[in-house]
Amino acid sequence: MTQHIPVVENILNANDRLAQANRARIEAAGVFSINILASPGAGKTSLIEKTLPLLKGKLRVAAIDGDIATSIDSDRAAAAGAGAAVQINTGGTCHLDAVMLNGALEQLDLTQFDLLIVENVGNLICPANFKLGTHKTVLVASIPEGDDKPYKYPGTYRGVDVLIINKIDLLPYVDFRMDYFTQGVQALNPGIVTFPMSCRTGEGVDAWVDWLVGNVHR
């Protein structure tokens, strides 16, 4: 009989050990780091593009962008003001892992930055299982995705530190029950830090930026 479970456990344990090494490296440089998760199209890159200009003159920011192919996201981060932007192409893998992040960190002089933003691959399942070593995990949910996502992806919602509810400008046009969505989130992750916002209009982005600055200077 094939022993699948021990193999998976060994992979995750090895990943967790390297994630701890990544965290130690990031902290030794005095950097605060976040890992952004979301489904495709929820607005991870748009969030970064809205955030970086508001951090200009306040924080020095590096970005690491994970995607299956292309450098589109890292190019957008660089154009928005990231002091350095590294692209990780996973070649088909549906998530970043600690090994990939470790390789990207090798390309950065972390001592030159205050904040590291890691944009994970667009997926609500796989990225939640692989620790990277960042300080906080941020989930971007968007109104068009529907209000049932906490119920369908409990592992992802349970394991994050911050929730961004993006595209709230679409609430008048989409059948999205905020009370139902919030009830599901709170059942899984009581008291989670939440920022309703619209990356298109800019509504709510300032509060998110203040949170980032506060954590860097904590």
Q: What is the pLDDT of residue 9?
A: 67
Q: What is the pLDDT of residue 6?
A: 61
Q: Is the pLDDT of residue 134 over 50?
A: yes
Q: Is the pLDDT of residue 8 over 70?
A: no
Question: What domains appear along the chain, each with residue ranges and CATH number?
Answer: 4-216 (3.40.50.300)
> In angstroms, rounded to a whole number, what is the distance separating the alpha carbons of residues 179 and 29?
41
Q: What is the pLDDT of residue 92?
A: 85
- Interval 147-176: pLDDT, tens: 999 999 999 999 999 999 999 999 999 999
Q: What is the pLDDT of residue 2?
A: 46
- CB contact at 8 A, 215 and 32: yes
Mean pLDDT computed over 61-79: 94
Label residue 56 by pLDDT band (50, 70, 90).
very high
Q: What is the pLDDT of residue 108?
A: 97
- Interval 184-206: pLDDT, tens: 999 999 999 999 999 999 999 99
Mean pLDDT of the chain: 94
Q: Tally Cβ neighbours within 10 Å of residue 133.
A: 23
Label residue 4 by pLDDT band (50, 70, 90).
low
pTM: 0.93
Q: Is the pLDDT of residue 7 over 70?
A: no
Q: What is the pLDDT of residue 1?
A: 44
Q: What is the pLDDT of residue 181?
A: 98
- CB contact at 8 A, 3 and 10: no
Name the region of 81 (left: φ>0; alpha: ψ -120 to 50; beta: rest): left
For the chain, the three-class secondary structure string (H helix, E strand, C coil) is CCCHHHHHHHHHHHHHHHHHHHHHHHHHCCCEEEEEEECCCCCHHHHHHHHHHHHCCCCCEEEEEEECCCCHHHHHHHHHCCCEEEEEECCCCCCCCHHHHHHHHCCCCHHHCCEEEEECCCECCHHHHCCCCCCEEEEEEEHHHCCCHHHHCHHHHHCCCEEEEECHHHHHHCCCCHHHHHHHHHHHCCCCEEEECCCCCCCCHHHHHHHHHHHHCC
